[in-house]
């Protein structure tokens, strides 16, 4: 993840604060809303890390074939990552 969890928590608190101030949401438990928004943001931001890990596992399985055919690891990484992003309907 490119952001620290502390920064994501700060962004979540500011988002909730803004939504409450603009009367877009109403809550009696802002701490609980902050926690849930933080969790959601961390999950979304960590998706790319999970996709990258999955790509590495896939490419490791095909490492010998790639070496035999002369396929470029960075190029294959990009292609497989794009396919997984499409599969998971992720915007990276």
Q: What are the tens digits of pLDDT across the range 59-92? A: 999 999 999 999 999 999 999 999 999 999 988 8
Residues 6+ apart with CB under 8 A from 33: 16, 25, 27
Sign of CA dihedral 49, 75, 55, 70: negative
| pLDDT tens digits along 25-66 | 999 999 999 999 999 999 988 999 999 999 999 999 999 999
Enter the pTM of the model.
Answer: 0.70
pLDDT at position 69 is 93
The secondary structure of the chain as a DSSP string is: --S-HHHHHHHHHHHHHHHHHTTS---S-HHHHHHHHHHHHHHHHHHHHHHHHHHHHHHHHTHHHHHHHT--HHHHHHHHHHHHHHHTT---
pLDDT given at position 25: 95
């Amino acid at each position: 993840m490119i952001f620290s969890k502390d920064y994501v928590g700060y962004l979540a608190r500011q988002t909730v604060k803004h939504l409450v101030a603009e009367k877009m949401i109403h809550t009696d438990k802002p701490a609980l809303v902050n926690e849930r928004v933080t969790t959601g943001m961390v999950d979304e931001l960590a998706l790319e890390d999970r996709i990258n890990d999955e790509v590495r596992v896939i490419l490791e399985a095909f490492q010998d074939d790639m070496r035999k055919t002369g396929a470029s690891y960075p190029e294959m990484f990009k292609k497989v990552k794009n396919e997984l992003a499409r599969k998971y309907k992720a915007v990276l």
